[in-house]
Amino acid sequence: MALRNVRKFGDPILRKKCREVDNIDGRLLTLINDMKETMYDLDGVGLAAPQVGILKRLFIIDIGEGPLVFINAEILETEGTQIDEEGCLSLPGETAEVKRPNYVKARALNEKGEEFEIEAEELLARAICHEYDHLNGTLFTDRAKKNGRS
């Protein structure tokens, strides 16, 4: 495993739409392990592949209950709202209030290629939405509440 360089705000790759993962092979599993190591090293809650320069529909999340791997994720359903502070490993030191769904139902593949559905609330729902946004070139600052901050 190895630490990957996290792309910072202004890097054009962060604004690109990611391609679906076609094959779960050794290279992808190495990327997943590297992303986990990088996320934990930086005390992050999630990390998406474009943040490490890879335009694949892949992200990982760990809100303290163990890592979850999302490959080719789809958000199936959302409900309710929550507003809370968000940050991002690609925008170090920057935070803003962001309105997100309080409930999310998503479908994805795990690192074994098994399809799963997850129902998430609160922080996990927020993290799924935040990382999913990265796959479409959207940053949390694009969704930040307009309250005088950038």
Cβ–Cβ contacts within 10 Å for residue 65, how many?
A: 8
Is 21 labelled as part of a ligand binding site?
no
Nearest to 6 by CA among 78, 71, 73, 54: 54
Q: In what order do the strands lie in the sheet with 46-48?
A: 46-48, 58-61, 68-79, 103-109, 115-121
Residues 6 or more apart in contact with residue 111 via CB below 8 angstroms: 24, 28, 29, 32, 69, 71
Hey, CA dihedral for 145, 61, 138, 51, is it positive or negative? positive
79: annotated active-site residue: no
Is 130 labelled as part of a ligand binding site?
yes
Q: Which of 37, 65, 74, 131 is catalytic?
A: 131
Find out whether 124 and 101 touch, Cβ atoms under 8 Å.
no
Is 134 labelled as part of a ligand binding site?
yes
Question: Active-site residue numbers?
Answer: 131
Question: Where is the binding site for Fe cation, in residues?
Answer: 88, 130, 134
Question: Where is the binding site, in residues?
Answer: 88, 130, 134
